Chain A
Amino acid sequence: MNKAAVHRLMVVDDSNVIRRRIERAQDLPGIEFVGAARNGREALELHQKLQPTIVTMDLTMPEMDGSDCVAQLVERDPLIRILVISALADKLTAIDAIEKGACGFLCKPFTDRQLNDALYKLIEE
């Protein structure tokens, strides 16, 4: 484990390509990737084991979508910081995610820089 890391990152997305891309692309000091989940239900199961402090969350996923998962994660851990990363680019979707407790919203597709900028804002705020 990286002793300097203060933020534990869990990635939630039903796309393996996206999960691995976020894991590879995030390169901020102070963030340690601790695991990934394929849907909201799996994220809730892994939450206790991984104890993430920050989460990237897709919205459209099978079994449990990201919106419900955001609400349940925030209920369990009000200090958790969640960045929604979704192709649903309309304002209503972003507002709904923020109302459920997400701290930020990044539209897919994204560049590595956009991802790191969004993660930086997430941990700095």
Chain B
Amino acid sequence: MNTESEVNVFVHSVLHYFDTTVQQVADCGTPYLALSRTPEVSDYTGMIKISGKREGVVFFTAPKNMLCIMLMQMQETDMSHDNLCDLVGEIANTLSGNARRDFGHQFNISVPSIVHGRNSTVDYPAHSRPIVIPIEWRTYHARLVVCLN
């Protein structure tokens, strides 16, 4: 499986999440290599770490407002910090589940972790450049970041 196929697994996971859970299509923008080694994270970030045949991190990062509207679409009335963490955690959980299914046992995939705040830092693998995939939904902008070496 090449890098493009690997990235597509994650992109489809996120787009499928929007299709099924909030039942509104999200769009994938043009992927790009991060100019800096550390792409900015947004308010809430759900992350999985990968080891084995490839090493690195994959995360979905989104602004609070976007996650609140997603919860509203799910008929949820509680926009608490815990529920926002839950939501990005579930998206990361989907990334993890699909990666396990499609990549098989050559990849070890961690349980998802959640970080909060735009100043959060991510441990990227050495000698790698993250691929950033913009995810557009309604008027909101999230990012899927795939960094594997």
Contact = CB atoms under 8 A, between A and B. Distances in A.
Contacts of B137: none
B75 A108 contact: no
Given A109-B17, A109-B94, A90 B101 contact: yes
Interface of A: 15-18, 20-21, 24, 60, 86-90, 93, 107-111, 114
24 contacts: A15-B86, A15-B89, A15-B90, A17-B71, A17-B74, A17-B76, A17-B87, A17-B90, A18-B90, A60-B111, A87-B94, A87-B96, A89-B97, A90-B97, A90-B100, A90-B101, A93-B100, A108-B90, A109-B17, A109-B94, A110-B20, A110-B21, A111-B20, A111-B23
Contacts of A111: 20-21, 23
A54 B71 CA distance: 26
A60 B110 CA distance: 11
B100 A16 contact: no
Nearest to B103: A90
Interface string B80-120: 00110011011001101110110000000001000000000
Nearest to B89: A15
Interface residues of B, number: 24
B16 interface: yes
Listed residue (A15, A20, A87, A111) with the most chain B CB atoms within 10 angstroms of its CB: A87
Contacts of B71: 17
Given A88-B100, A88-B101, A110-B21, 20 more contacts: A15-B86, A16-B83, A17-B71, A17-B86, A18-B86, A20-B76, A24-B75, A87-B90, A87-B93, A87-B94, A89-B98, A90-B97, A90-B101, A93-B100, A108-B93, A109-B17, A109-B21, A109-B90, A109-B94, A114-B20
